[in-house]
């Protein structure tokens, strides 16, 4: 969508959204590339290390068979198809098949427990579930509580009382006439990660893919260059893996590497990217922080990276400087959320990054910082990050929750629930979730800059900052730290760390309380659950 010959300013000035009346995500990411039988869609490295290649033509054929199978199991337009799988070919072609039918995909994270699965399957009233042996075993425990779930298809055979997917697909026709969906028709439900309250199902339209494209292209320094090949350790069950990587890459006719570690390992990530000559990686902040412990990766592995994108938590100057050393390029930060994703991005190919900023509004989106009345605040002032509607990337609403949907908007703005500021040049700064902002002695303090500063200390591997009750200040800054190997907690270390923040940031921002912990509570997308830390009484 973004011609590489233009500047950011001219792109913003001339851009018009190419959203047609009719648009089907499953068709648009596959069929127009399938005419070339050699064009590669997926490189799948399985758990044993064996590699299999899938062309767009093969993906079209497999998704056609899958659509016929789903129809035979009673799925019609508007019905929900749940997908409980890691990064596998079956995950990809089930998504395509579901969209082709006009049905609604419900991606589910493989590490969900039975309670999490039960809630989402009940709430979505999914008719069919596609999973593996582990997923089938979990669902077997709750099957009697899911009256709408008629069929469970398993890629590992007939485990857990499910049907063998491979057997069921055999002999079915490869051609399936896709439903002519409108761009505004629903395509998938992605449940929020649930850091506050129960998860809510964000209902996305087919057009959301088009809405993602400018931000995705920016975050990868104008994605779509010859030789581009994408990979992410982020699960395709989340918007970051599915709509920041898989679907945008295929919309551009680019191949994707599919491999998700059973447990992420930093050296294995470098090895994987080198083995497959990955050119474009989306690496969440937690993965980058773990990879930072690897010494001299460019000397040890022949990396071919052209772009690295990251989003979900602010990286900070320390991590960005490390990225220059480790990858030889600027890590492009981006910002969004399940309900309205990829609306802000850095792009080293278009403008200079600024320390502490997550970038500028992605081309085509209007993003601002507003006050409680919905008015844009002056440059540099703190407020709520908001996106102007209509916007093709915005969700249709929360599944079966009209009141919660209405609360997401303030007049013409979709309010993200995140605090931030915007400078005179349009660079946006993320300060934290509204409920993460610390109010101390009249100051409003965002946890992100403090966490970034804490990571500068050689002893600190991971850091999380929250507010804790303080009689004098209302709240005081409290830090939870995971130390690197070879370091142990001590009063002297605590004073060192406090002095670092006091001198690098400000006297009112240093952590008055420091707690050393073996690990931090994280959502399944790798975000810090600060709510859990605030509830601790240690």
Q: What is the DSSP string of 437-452?
A: -EEETTEEE-HHHHHH
Q: Which of 236-245, 364-373, 519-528 has the lowest mean pLDDT?
A: 519-528
Helices (H), 41-132: 56-72, 89-101, 114-124
Region 234-258 average pLDDT: 97
3-state secondary structure of 191: strand
Region 304-330 average pLDDT: 91
pLDDT at 43 over 70: yes
pLDDT of residue 195: 43
pLDDT of residue 186: 98
pLDDT at 318 over 90: no
Cα separation, 453 vs 504, in Å, equals 7
Q: Which of 110-119, 219-228, 341-350, 491-500 has the lowest mean pLDDT?
A: 110-119
Region 319-344 average pLDDT: 95
For the entire predicted model, the pTM comes to 0.87
Q: Would you say 346 and 381 are in contact if contact means Cβ atoms under 8 Å apart?
A: no
CA-based nearest residue to 250, from 71, 44, 39:
39
Q: Does domain 438-535 have CATH number 1.10.4160.10?
A: no
Q: Would you say 357 and 383 are in contact if contact means Cβ atoms under 8 Å apart?
A: no
Cα separation, 45 vs 149, in Å, equals 31
pLDDT at 319 over 80: yes
Rg (alpha carbons) of the chain, rounded to whole number? 23
pLDDT at 373 over 50: yes
List pLDDT tens digits, range 216-227. Answer: 999 999 999 999
pLDDT at 194 over 60: no
Higher pLDDT, 313 or 137: 137
pLDDT of residue 81: 98
Neighbours of 2 (CB within 10 A): 23
Cα separation, 207 vs 364, in Å, equals 14
pLDDT at 367 over 90: yes
Phi and psi angles of residue 249, each rounded to the nearest 5 degrees, phi first: -60, -45
Cα 261 to Cα 49, 73, 135, 264, 297: the distances in Å are 11, 32, 17, 5, 19
Angle at which helix 133-140 crosses helix 114-124, to 10 degrees, equals: 80
Cα separation, 190 vs 328, in Å, equals 34
CA-based nearest residue to 416, from 447, 381, 389:
389
Cα 41 to Cα 210, 229, 244: the distances in Å are 19, 10, 16
pLDDT at 414 over 90: yes
């Amino acid at each position: 969508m973004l011609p590489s010959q233009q500047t950011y300013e001219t792109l913003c000035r001339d851009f018009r959204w190419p959203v047609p009346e009719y648009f089907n995500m499953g068709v648009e990411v596959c069929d127009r590339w399938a005419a070339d039988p050699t064009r590669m869609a997926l490189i799948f490295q399985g758990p044993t290390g064996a590699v299999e290649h899938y062309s767009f033509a093969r993906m079209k054929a497999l998704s056609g068979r899958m659509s016929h199978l789903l129809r035979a199991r009673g799925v019609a337009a508007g019905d929900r198809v749940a997908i409980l799988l890691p990064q596998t070919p079956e995950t990809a072609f089930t998504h395509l098949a579901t969209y082709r039918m006009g049905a609604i995909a419900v991606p589910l994270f493989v590490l969900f427990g039975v309670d999490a699965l039960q809630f989402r399957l009940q709430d979505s009233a999914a008719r069919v579930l596609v999973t593996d042996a582990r997923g089938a075993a979990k669902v077997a425990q709750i099957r009697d509580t899911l009256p709408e779930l008629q069929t469970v298809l398993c890629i590992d055979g007939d485990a857990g009382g499910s049907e063998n997917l491979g057997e069921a697909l055999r002999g079915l026709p490869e051609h399936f006439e896709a439903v002519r969906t409108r761009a505004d028709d629903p395509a998938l439900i992605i449940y929020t990660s649930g850091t506050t309250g129960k998860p809510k199902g964000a209902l996305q339209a087919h057009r959301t893919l088009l809405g993602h494209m400018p931000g995705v292209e920016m975050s990868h320094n104008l994605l779509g260059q010859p030789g581009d090949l994408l990979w992410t350790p982020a699960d395709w069950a989340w918007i970051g893996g599915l709509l920041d990587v898989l679907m945008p890459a295929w919309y551009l006719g680019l191949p994707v590497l599919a491999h998700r570690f059973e447990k992420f390992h930093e050296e294995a990530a470098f090895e994987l990217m080198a083995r497959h000559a990955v050119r474009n990686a989306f690496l969440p902040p937690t993965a980058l922080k773990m990879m930072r412990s690897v010494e001299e990766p460019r000397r040890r592995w022949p990396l071919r990276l052209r772009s690295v994108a990251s989003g979900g938590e602010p990286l900070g100057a320390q991590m960005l400087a490390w990225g220059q050393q480790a990858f030889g390029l600027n890590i492009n930060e981006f910002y969004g959320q399940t309900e309205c994703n990829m609306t802000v991005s850095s792009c080293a190919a278009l403008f200079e990054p600024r320390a502490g900023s997550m970038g500028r509004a992605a081309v085509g989106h209007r993003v601002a910082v507003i006050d409680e009345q919905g008015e844009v605040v002056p440059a540099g002032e703190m407020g709520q990050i908001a996106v102007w509607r209509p916007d093709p990337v915005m969700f249709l609403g929360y599944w079966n929750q009209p009141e919660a949907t209405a609360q997401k908007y303030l007049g013409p703005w979709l309010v993200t629930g995140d605090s931030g500021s915007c400078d005179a040049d349009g660079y946006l700064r993320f300060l934290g979730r509204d409920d993460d902002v610390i109010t101390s002695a009249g100051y409003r303090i965002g946890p992100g800059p403090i966490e970034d500063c804490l990571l500068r200390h050689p002893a600190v591997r991971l850091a999380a900052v929250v507010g804790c009750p303080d009689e004098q200040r209302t709240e005081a800054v409290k830090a939870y730290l995971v130390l690197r190997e070879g370091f142990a907690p001590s009063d002297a270390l605590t004073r060192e760390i406090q002095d670092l923040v006091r001198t690098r940031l400000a006297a009112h921002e240093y952590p008055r309380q420091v707690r050393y912990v073996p690990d931090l509570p994280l959502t399944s997308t790798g975000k810090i659950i600060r709510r859990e830390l605030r509830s601790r009484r240690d």
